[in-house]
Amino acid sequence: MGKFVISKRANGEFQFNLKAGNGQVILTSEGYTAKAGCENGIESVKKNSQDESNFDKKTAANGKAYFNLKAGNGQIIGSSQMYESEQGRDNGVSSVMENAPSATIEDETV
């Protein structure tokens, strides 16, 4: 089962990573100035990850594949790692769709 891990960046901002059951990070958030914003971002991922049209599949300049998960308003709420192939990226999308809805939350900032 997946889990969201809330942590603090060196600049004091909060962020979350969604990890698959094997511990691999499959989605990373932007930085949030307040923990409440970070928690809202997690809820947004849980909700928006169930519609594949919210995943913006991209290819970076270096040829690696990645994706962004967008909210209903078009704002990016999380980005993936870089994948060697489109197949890997598509597997990442499937993993987010599968893990996000029931993922637990682990807060490393307390």
Q: What is the secondary structure of 54-101 as a DSSP string?
A: GEEEEE-TTS-EEEEEE-TTS-EEEE---BSSHHHHHHHHHHHHHHTT
pTM of the complete model = 0.94
Query: In the predicted model, what is the mean pLDDT of the chain?
Result: 96
How many CA within 13 A on the CB side of residue 74? 0
How many angstroms separate the Cα of 25 from the Cα of each of 16, 29, 57, 69? 10, 11, 17, 14
> What domains are defined for the chain?
3-107 (2.30.29.80)
DSSP class of residue 32? B
Q: For residue 64, what pLDDT band results from cuts at 50, 70 and 90?
A: very high
Q: For residue 40, what pLDDT band results from cuts at 50, 70 and 90?
A: very high
Percent of the chain residues past pLDDT 90, beyond the cut: 97
Q: Does residue 110 carry a pLDDT above 90?
A: no
Q: For residue 1, what pLDDT band results from cuts at 50, 70 and 90?
A: confident
